Structure 1
Amino acid sequence: MRKPETIERLYLDFDGFFASVEQQCDRRLRGRPIGVVPFEGTDRTAVIACSREAKAYGVK
């Protein structure tokens, strides 16, 4: 595949990105399975991002 002259669109897979950011900000979380869950403004929630370690346990 040849490299394009310009990039018009760039699609990134951010699955796990927010968990990685949390692990970088808090060294105690590094190497541990973590999930990022939004709580504010709702009575229901779900994991929006999980670390590689959490994925190894089957978290999706």
Structure 2
Amino acid sequence: MAVLAWLLIPFLAAIGAGLWGSWVSRHRTTAGDGSELAGYARFREAMEKSHTGG
């Protein structure tokens, strides 16, 4: 009986990980990329300005 308990623990952990992964991926959005791209463009412009002055 103890062997079954030790085999049941990883099995339940795998099921829990699968449920958690499906729940986390359900709430993903890709609408927030615009502000990140604008920030990257500002960063590139600032880096170009700092190299042209020297």
TM over 0.5: no
Larger relative strand fraction: 1
TM-score by length of structure 1 reads: 0.27
Relative contact order (C-alpha < 8 Å, sep 6+): which is higher?
Answer: 1
> Hey, which of these two has a bigger chunk of helix by percent?
2
